[in-house]
Structure 1
Amino acid sequence: MRTDPNFRSNGRRQHPSISLLIRNSESDSGSSDLASKRVLPALLSIVQSPNHHHLLSLCFKLLRNLCAGETANQNSFLEHGGVVVVSSILKSQAASSCPDHGLVRWGVQVLANVSLAGREHQRAVWEEFYPVGFFSLARLGMKEIYTCCDENLQWFGSLISSDDGLSVIAQIVRTASFASFDEDWIMLLLSRICLEESQWPVLFSKLRFVDLPKGEDTESKYDEFSSEQAFLLQILAEILYVRNRDVALPEDVALFVFEIFKKSTRVLEHAMRGKSGLLSGSTDVDVLCYTLTILRDICAQDSVRCNKEDANDVVDVLLSYGLIDMLLSWLGDLEPPAIIRKGIKQFESQEGPSCSSKPCPYKGFRRDIVTLIGNCVYRRNKHAQDEIRHRNGILLLLQQCVIDEDNPFLREWGIWSVRNMLEGNEENQMVVSEYEPGKSNCVLLMKIILS
């Protein structure tokens, strides 16, 4: 992803000469003409003198326009020490208790445009700012800093292979979380770092309660996870959903997600009935939702990727760590779907899971569990199919084939999961055929699914 080099806008009229130059620099011909008149070195001299913020802002706007694709100006900026000049102002602003965000953004846009000129220019910016300067700019939410390592493996390697570099990325995520934006550039950055370079666990750890004052006891917080960690999971869940065909998580990263998922389920002990799918007001509930979604897509890769053996391996590893047993246990602990709760008395004497008062912590929780189970048994995964039978989960799964207002499309996903559980598995089909006709109409349902 390349940052748009054409950072240009009109100046204000309080400084007529600079405002006129800004207007002239907005065209390619005007920018070239100003380059031939050596305006840029004179402009850098003005910037180095003590000036009011408004004059500095106008100068930065003009520098930004001059360096937007004009090679002569980009080279002149480097030759006259423009990186150091602009850097000193940006670092001063970053250290201020009340920074001028407009001034900082225009200054960073100057550097971003200069960086697009090539490796030499990019190196000059990188060496001046890495890592402390980038960390400060990330704290201010300056997305243009990504331009300094875009398509440059050497600089990008420094970000992902060092503690300083990952601290910069963590600060970017923190700022993005606070500002609630998920633009393409940050999604691409996190996709490369977490999915392609497998730095997900390290970055996730760095985001644990980073906003707390030093020395404060994080264990005293109600939530198990920080809002920044939940934001990271949200972004990665979106990426995996879109890139399901071409992203394969290695076993260790899949298990890392599984461990987060297990830890997040502690919220079920005190959860209230969720009124929405996301943004529940509880970070732990959001983490539960995102990790369940991520595991769902990991286990779904068998159906979309050409190399099915790798996907099956990951699913089998998750199964070996008790995924099916855990999902069935939570599904059985939930209060039945509304349509079943209404007629619960007629089932009280029947064999099956006992009723529990635990509600779904968010809308769609039951559906997501059922979908994940269905993905685990997809394409006749006999090991997973048999485990459902051994855990007495067949009837429980059949009971999910109903309409539930708190779980949109539960019936459709329930039928699909039951189909996967029964397909090619004569033992499971035999168990269903032995149920009495009145027991959730199991035999009729099986005939419909297998027909």
Structure 2
Amino acid sequence: MGDTDTLEYPISEQTLRLLFGASSSTDLEKSLEIFEEISKSASGRSELSSKGILPAVLEIIHSAPCTSQHHFLPLSLKLLRNLCAGEIANQNSFVELKGAGIVSNVLRSVASCSDPDQGLARVCLQVLANVSLAGKDHQHAIWEELYPNGFVSLARLRNRGTCDPLCMIIYTCYGGNPELVRKLYSDSGWPIMVEIIRTASLVGFGEDWLKLLLSRICLEESQLPLLFSKLWSGAASEGEVSEFRDDQLSSEQAFLLEIVAEILNERITDVAVTRDVALFVYEIFKHSIGVLEHAPKAKSGIPTGCAAIDVLGYSISIMRDICAQDDVKGGIKGESEDVVNELLSQGLIDLLLSLLHDLEPPAIIRKAIKQSEKRDKAEASRLRKPCLYKGFRRDIVALVGNCLYRRKHAQDEIRGKNGIILLLQQCVTDEDNPFLREWGIWSVRNMLEGNEENQRAVAELEVQGSVDVPEISALGLRVEIDQKTRRAKLVNVP
């Protein structure tokens, strides 16, 4: 009858007769292999359910010692995972027979080992993930077994194979049970997300469950400020956000913003960013600018490996996409909020122009500019700052361009702050800033569209000769006056 005598607890004769009869085999290992193959199809899972195979498998898992890594255990868990994949009868039987406790005991045993079996943990989590899809009762059973310490221990395994199904379980439970959401946003719940982010930042992730989870938590539920604050030392107490400290920025915080930036870029038309989240990102941006004072010239794009630079870069990316959303709704409150105008009222454009002004000009501009005797000596001697990362200037220009899109008060602010020439200077190719020229032209186009004052200002600058070289003509551009509308426009020089 196979190697059943090595099991920690004996399997009943009734169970063995059931398994051997259903598989037409007298060897337990062979029987499990036959069932695993059958369970790969929906019809096979249904057939095995009608024969009562799942209770027998749970008995084997309960009997097999985890410490010996007996071959019955991983084989039985793989079979159990397949049986619970979309077969409601098996999922219900799993909960009724306390399967969540049996599998959770295996997980606790694995997580407590000095050298945990990551493969075994992954299969266990896949079992629970499949069961969690069946409904609230199933989710509650799993949550009660693992929250919070079990989830935290599993998140600390630092393994991509376990991180993905763990995120699936939490995301699925999170979406189905408001009660569980409240638990996740408590002092005992936040360490779960903190450890998941630390693991993913170290080993990466292979599936989209982490993104789905962070999209819901950080953007839909507007919890980005609190989660971000939990990722540095001296984390806030429950419901509070720590005071921003740029010298405490961590690689995990940079990773979190990177994922949030990816989510927003991918779902820009259907994820609404609330005022609180937008202003928090703006605060991160403002406080991170200090890194300009001591950062070396860019050698790569983000991520650079420097948390402060990466946090700055991803905060710009997030605001760029926030400002690209024409109509942002107020998230969970359902109130309509003009988040972009709120950012503009906080001095966003003034800060961006100041950053551009302080950066050394693009290489092509530096070569073209001729020193003038009338040029202010203080300006000439002023130390310009290099780009923090490849694409830094481009990202700033892109954010400016999105702010200007069909917002006349923002267009007027560019003119009022003498930013027209500065924007014209960005319409160039630059090896350190891919697609700078395209974003520059986009920004200038948005600056001029529907704004006759800005159009006249650009036309007058060319007539006066103050931007003839290099700010316009050396950029491969010129200003033309439309004969019908009498409006100025930028065109490419053939």
TM-score range, shorter chain: 0.7 to 0.9
Tell which deviates more after alignment, 251-260 or 371-380: 371-380
Following superposition, the deviation at residue 292 of structure 1 comes to 0.6
Where do 1:10-409 residues align within 5 Å?
Answer: 15-49=29-63, 51=65, 52-53=68-69, 54-140=71-157, 141-145=162-166, 146-147=168-169, 148-149=172-173, 151-181=175-205, 183-208=207-232, 224-302=248-326, 313-347=338-372, 349-350=374-375, 354=380, 356-382=383-409, 384-409=410-435
Distance 1:359 1:439, change over 3 A: same
CA contact (8 A) 1:209 1:225 kept: no
CA contact (8 A) 1:398 1:440 kept: no
Following superposition, the deviation at residue 205 of structure 1 comes to 1.0
Tell which deviates more after alignment, 131-140 or 281-290: 131-140
CA contact (8 A) 2:222 2:276 kept: no
Secondary structure of the residue that 1:450 maps to in structure 2?
strand
Secondary structure of the residue that 1:346 maps to in structure 2?
coil
Partner of residue 415, structure 1? 441
Q: What is the one-letter code of the residue matched to 1:360?
A: C
TM-score of the aligned structures, taking structure 2 as reference length: 0.77
Render the CA deviation track for 1:400-426: whole Å, top value 9, x for unaligned: 222222122222322332233334445
CA contact (8 A) 1:275 1:363 kept: yes
Render the CA deviation track for 1:28-69: whole Å, top value 9, x for unaligned: 444444434433333333323353213321221122223233
Following superposition, the deviation at residue 87 of structure 1 comes to 1.2
CA contact (8 A) 2:246 2:287 kept: no
Unaligned runs of 5+ in 2: 1-26, 236-242, 482-487
Secondary structure of the residue that 1:174 maps to in structure 2?
helix
Q: What is the one-letter code of the residue matched to 1:143?
A: D
Q: What is the one-letter code of the residue matched to 1:397?
A: L
Following superposition, the deviation at residue 143 of structure 1 comes to 2.7
Following superposition, the deviation at residue 93 of structure 1 comes to 1.6
Following superposition, the deviation at residue 156 of structure 1 comes to 4.9
Distance 1:75 1:175, change over 3 A: same
CA contact (8 A) 1:254 1:314 kept: yes
Distance 1:155 1:427, change over 3 A: same
Following superposition, the deviation at residue 193 of structure 1 comes to 1.1
Distance 1:312 1:149, change over 3 A: closer
* Cα distance between partner residues in 2 of 1:306 and 1:200: 17
Of all paired residues, the percent bearing the same amino acid is: 58
* Cα distance between partner residues in 2 of 1:432 and 1:72: 72
CA contact (8 A) 1:64 1:113 kept: yes
CA contact (8 A) 1:301 1:311 kept: no
* Cα distance between partner residues in 1 of 2:232 and 2:373: 45
Higher relative contact order (CA 8 A, sep 6+): 1
Q: Number of aligned pairs?
A: 427
Distance 1:419 1:44, change over 3 A: closer
Q: What is the one-letter code of the residue matched to 2:114?
A: S
RMSD: 3.2
* Cα distance between partner residues in 2 of 1:230 and 1:181: 16
TM-score of the aligned structures, taking structure 1 as reference length: 0.84
* Cα distance between partner residues in 2 of 1:416 and 1:25: 56
* Cα distance between partner residues in 1 of 2:265 and 2:43: 45
Q: What is the one-letter code of the residue matched to 1:296?
A: R
Following superposition, the deviation at residue 348 of structure 1 comes to 6.6
Q: Is the counterpart of residue 447 in structure 1 residue 470 in structure 2?
A: no
* Cα distance between partner residues in 2 of 1:327 and 1:98: 50
CA contact (8 A) 1:149 1:155 kept: no
Following superposition, the deviation at residue 261 of structure 1 comes to 0.7
* Cα distance between partner residues in 1 of 2:400 and 2:371: 27
Render the CA deviation track for 1:348-403: whole Å, top value 9, x for unaligned: 74479656341111111111112212222221422x23333333322222222222
* Cα distance between partner residues in 2 of 1:311 and 1:71: 41
Unaligned runs of 5+ in 1: 1-12, 212-218
* Cα distance between partner residues in 1 of 2:373 and 2:361: 12
* Cα distance between partner residues in 1 of 2:198 and 2:60: 35
Pair member with larger Rg: 2
* Cα distance between partner residues in 1 of 2:91 and 2:420: 68
Distance 1:427 1:74, change over 3 A: closer
* Cα distance between partner residues in 2 of 1:161 and 1:306: 23
* Cα distance between partner residues in 2 of 1:277 and 1:245: 26
* Cα distance between partner residues in 2 of 1:27 and 1:322: 59
Distance 1:297 1:311, change over 3 A: farther
* Cα distance between partner residues in 1 of 2:234 and 2:126: 28
CA contact (8 A) 1:397 1:414 kept: yes
Render the CA deviation track for 1:227-257: whole Å, top value 9, x for unaligned: 1111111111112112222223222211100
CA contact (8 A) 1:377 1:417 kept: yes
* Cα distance between partner residues in 1 of 2:351 and 2:278: 16
Tell which deviates more after alignment, 440-449 or 16-25: 440-449
Distance 1:73 1:393, change over 3 A: closer
Distance 1:112 1:261, change over 3 A: same
